């Protein structure tokens, strides 16, 4: 899997740089946020390689080469069935950890005592 930081999460450039060194793979912040160090450049490169590998893997999976009209049936399949939704929820709940700040990977500032989390429960 990959560790991905959302936009605006890393505001402290020192924490931002070290987060790549601690395991962050992809940050949705602008690359102009900081001048990377040699160590963080290497870590960022590793993250980009993981992302490209994942996209390539997904594109080469079951639906590889699937473009209408060759696979209209597959594209029109009901992916919102009860069985599909159950499997999707189980996969998501076992694959996602919202906040587990091991080794201070998340760029949380100790001085702030409030944390906002948004999204469906």
Transcribe 35-56 into DSSP letters: PPPHHHHHHHHHHHHHHHHHHH
Q: What is the pTM of this model?
A: 0.39
Q: Are strands 4-5 and 26-27 parallel, antiparallel or unpaired?
A: parallel
29, with CB counted inside 10 A (0-12, 13-18, 19+), is middle
Residue 84's pLDDT is: 77
Return the higher-pLDDT residue of 117 and 83.
83
pLDDT digits (tens, 9 = 90+) for 10-64: 555 556 667 777 777 777 766 555 556 677 678 778 877 877 777 666 655 555 5
Q: How far is CA 7 from CA 17, 33, 56, 79, 107, in A?
A: 15, 11, 24, 29, 12
pLDDT digits (tens, 9 = 90+) for 47-57: 778 777 776 66
């Amino acid at each position: 899997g990959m560790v991905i930081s959302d936009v605006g999460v890393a505001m402290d450039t020192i924490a931002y740089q070290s987060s790549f060194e601690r395991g962050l793979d992809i940050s949705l912040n602008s690359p102009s946020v900081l001048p990377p160090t040699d160590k963080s450049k290497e870590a960022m490169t590793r993250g980009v390689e993981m992302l490209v590998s994942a996209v390539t893997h997904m594109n080469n999976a079951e639906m590889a080469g699937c473009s209408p009209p060759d696979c209209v049936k597959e594209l029109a399949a009901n992916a919102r069935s009860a069985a599909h939704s159950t499997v999707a929820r189980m996969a998501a709940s076992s694959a996602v950890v919202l906040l587990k700040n091991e080794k201070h990977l998340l760029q949380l500032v100790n001085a702030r005592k409030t944390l906002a989390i948004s999204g469906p429960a």
